[in-house]
Amino acid sequence: RSESEPTDVQIPPPPTKPEPRPASQRRFRQLKNELLDLQQRLASSLPDELQTAGSSLPAPLARACRLLVAQGLRPSTAESLCLLLRRHLPQESLQSDREIQDGLHRLCEEQIRVSGPLLDTANDCKVAMFVGPSGVGKTTAIVKLAAHYRLQENRSVVLITLDTCRMAAVEQLRLYAKALGVPLETAQTTADVVDGVRRHRQANLILIDTPGFGSHETAQIVRLGRLKDMCGSIDTHLVLSATTRMQDLRRIVAHHAACAPSRLLFTKLDETEEYGNLFELVYQTTLPLSYWSNGQRVPEDFELADSA
């Protein structure tokens, strides 16, 4: 051909690649298998009681039962409450999660005993002792009570401490006693406590702080228990942290049985969102609740326990 003739230039098509399988579908199936595997592993790791709690109940009640167990109630306690509710609620109400929750709330309130205030019109004079493990806030609870009754109710208050080994606790009480204008007695022995109570028997309220004793210090616990016989009527408040596990709460109660506690006072309510252990302990021991401590401010973060 001559150079003047036009030539047809053919551009070869790009090489074809094999059609890939959609990556999104493969990834979806992979994620689905991973989720199913994770679900199975989670289910197998749950405590048996949480998986089986309320299994004989209708579905809405069973859900409520498992929620109670997850909050810290024993399965037997949760199932007892749900069975009781089943007998009291109409059949149509047992299909409503809201009505079940409201019904359980009422039932729980009925199971909780409260002691009322330390001082009222019927009791114008009281000796109260505060026992419990180290670090639960016994001294802070006493300071809050002293501030409330001295400043807000204008009662005469006396502080006595047996916790003389912890200088920080003694100094804390001394500073607050001075600020509140109330006497502070330091006691080395239970006999010193008895003498202090007798010297201030005209006071409206005598608050006794005690050391926290370990599980091996049974003799000291027994000596604290004898104060009731030596001083007459004493309200003994077992002070516990709301963050403590249920099995440890039961152990602490058993350890302090020699003190014959007549009240339960819970601290650190602001450090947890699960209160099933509080309910369970009240349910098991039938001891009334006295006060809540829910923060560090004195005396604001302290309130009378209420069953609701």
pTM: 0.78
Instruction: Extract long-range pairs of 149-155: CB within 8 Å, 24+ residues apart.
Output: 149/118, 149/119, 149/204, 149/205, 150/180, 150/181, 150/182, 151/180, 151/299, 152/299, 153/119, 155/119, 155/204, 155/205
For 104-124, give the DSSP string. HHHHHHHH--B---SS-SS-S
In tens, the pLDDT along 220-231 reads: 888 888 888 787
In tens, the pLDDT along 282-302 reads: 999 999 999 999 988 888 889
Residue 277 and residue 242 in contact, taking contact as beta carbons nearer than 8 Å = yes
Q: Specify the amino acid at residue 130.
A: F
In tens, the pLDDT along 80-125 reads: 999 999 988 888 888 888 888 899 999 999 999 999 999 987 777 8
The confidence score (pLDDT) of residue 43 equals 47
The confidence score (pLDDT) of residue 210 equals 93
DSSP E strand stretches across the chain: 126-131, 157-161, 184-186, 205-209, 235-241, 263-267, 289-293, 302-304
> In the numeric block, which tokens belong to residue 249?
């709460």
In tens, the pLDDT along 230-273 reads: 877 889 999 999 999 999 999 999 999 998 899 999 999 999 88
Provide, for the chain, the percentages of residues in helix, strand and coil under a 3-state DSSP scheme, each rounded to the nearest 5: 50, 15, 35
**In the predicted model, is pLDDT for residue 8 greater than 60?**
no
Grouping H, G, I as helix, E, B as strand and the rest as coil, residue 274 is coil
Among the residue ranges 85-94, 135-144, 190-199, the one predicted with the least confidence is: 85-94
The confidence score (pLDDT) of residue 91 equals 84
Q: Specify the amino acid at residue 168.
A: A
Mark 191-213 as b/e (b = at least 16 C-beta within 10 Å). eebbebbeebeebbbbbbbbbbb
